[in-house]
Amino acid sequence: MSQSMETPLIPLLQELIRNKCVNTGHPDSGQEIRSAQTLKRFFSEYGIESEILESHPGRANLVARIPGTNPGSPSLCFMSHLDVVPANEEQWSTDPFGGDLRGGYIWGRGTVDMLNMTAAQAMAFAKIAEEKKTFPGDLVFLAVADEEASGRLGARWLTENHWEKIRADYMITELGGFFLSNKQEPNITITVGEKGIAWTRLKAKGESGHGSIPYRLTNTSYIIGEALRRLESHRPKISFTREYRDMVENLSLPKSVKRALTDRRTFGKALDRLAKKDEGTARFLHAAGQMTISPNVVSVGNKINIIPDQGIIELDVRILPGQTVETVISELNRALGPLARQFEMEIIEYYPSNSSPSQTPLYKATQELIGAVYPLAKSVPFFIGSVTDGRYFRKKGTIVYGFSLFHEELTLTEYARRIHSRDERISVESLELSYTYFYRLPEVFFNKLAIESADD
């Protein structure tokens, strides 16, 4: 019988899935209070005190702490989130909120993003407390609300209003531990940083009129359509940042491929060739090497017989280190050309790119734990195009990595297929490996921290 079958690990994950904490972006959605109460009950069975912090009715965050023996020692935090994105039940082969266990997998929305880690972190934290293990610094468990809507009611709110309750020097959170397709020397990602966001709204104005007599009227639909065409054909400047070069250098690829991926003249063709073998890695490298602009919300017109006099495009713009609001506006003006004069541009949300150094006790502890399970694997410091709640903690000075240990079937390509998609699922084997990683991590981390401190 597997270890997870003998513990509440799988039932805990199933309950978190069934709590259906769906975040639509509306302040009243999510209702993470359900899962916060689940965790509070779970921890109480192990004698662990925890606190629920609500930023808005029902938008709950939970924090628990195992005090360290040395008040001056750095602390370590396990952070996860409780909310999930919506699921179209008609597209699933099973109930997305059923938490079914079949075929060696737990199925349901959030199993990959990231309730699997929430359950594994909680189980490891509880087991450490049950065994009365202590470490020099505090061990903190933090489960937050609203990650799927930029953390306004979760991590952002907590760092701005309750920093003393959640303070941490080192942190492990989501989006890492995925295998890159290379059978000779497996690569496993440890996320060290992420791009920033500059979500932008473009608003165009035309002339309203009756749809039956469009002559000499400016139909905003055509302005919007032309803007979308120009954005599709636009190629932002390739920028090989330190984070990008570090990532490429650590990949198990031939030197000739690495050279091609760090040369602007050959980057595009090299990426296309790589995508044929490893689409997931190619997609992430594409995002890491340039600003990306994705028009994801388009709105124009509201009645079939009225010529629309305004239209809106909302752009998901992801920016590299050093790029600013001014950089984004300049890039959009370059993409749209003279058409830019017909738009009002508004940055509706901005957060800069951020990263943590890789030569730390926490990074080295993770490498050691990877090696214990996958001796031939090579860790790759990864720079991702998406954002996590870790950015709010990096701003406060916390060293943050995205990682969990998974079964080798969870490649980066497979992860990209499952996240926010239909039939999202996590294998029992991956869940067990994640639990083992989080259970062992504090001891290995604090030991490496002590060795480093002694060397200093």
Q: What is the mean pLDDT of residues 212-235?
A: 95
3-state secondary structure of 140: strand
Beta strands at 354-355 and 76-81: parallel, antiparallel or unpaired? unpaired
**98/218 Cα distance (integer angstroms):** 51
**338/124 Cα distance (integer angstroms):** 57
Q: What is the mean pLDDT of residues 280-309?
A: 94
What is the domain extent for residue 268? 193-350
What are the tokens at 453? 């401190």
Domain end among 329, 350, 371: 350
**28/451 Cα distance (integer angstroms):** 48
CATH number at residue 332: 3.30.70.360
If asked whether residues 324 and 244 sit together in one domain, one would say yes
If asked whether residues 370 and 330 sit together in one domain, one would say no
If asked whether residues 186 and 206 sit together in one domain, one would say no
Burial of 138 (0-12, 13-18, 19+ CB in 10 A): buried
How much is the pTM? 0.91
| pLDDT beyond 60 at 3 | no
| pLDDT beyond 60 at 5 | no
If asked whether residues 32 and 176 sit together in one domain, one would say yes
Q: Which residues contact 434 (CB under 8 A, 6 or more apart)?
A: 116, 117, 120, 404, 405, 406
Q: Describe the strand order of the beta sheet including 310-319 as a list of residue ranges.
A: 292-300, 310-319, 196-205, 343-351
Instruction: For residue range 445-456, list pLDDT tens digits in order.
Output: 999 999 988 776
Q: Which residues contact 441 (CB under 8 A, 6 or more apart)?
A: 76, 124, 172, 365, 366, 369
3-state secondary structure of 208: coil
If asked whether residues 221 and 185 sit together in one domain, one would say no
Q: What is the mean pLDDT of residues 375-404?
A: 95
Could you count the other beta carbons within 10 Å of the beta carbon of residue 335?
19
Q: What is the mean pLDDT of residues 1-12?
A: 72
Domain end among 320, 350, 380: 350
Least confident of 308-317, 325-334, 355-364, 407-416: 407-416
Instruction: Indicate the DSSP class of residue 411.
Output: B
**71/338 Cα distance (integer angstroms):** 61
CATH number at residue 109: 3.40.630.10
Q: What's the domain count of the chain? A: 2
Instruction: For residue range 84-109, list pLDDT tens digits in order.
Output: 999 999 999 999 999 999 999 999 99
Instruction: Indicate the DSSP class of residue 111.
Output: I
Instruction: For residue range 266-278, list pLDDT tens digits in order.
Output: 999 999 999 998 8
Instruction: For residue range 32-69, list pLDDT tens digits in order.
Output: 999 999 999 999 999 999 999 999 999 999 999 999 99
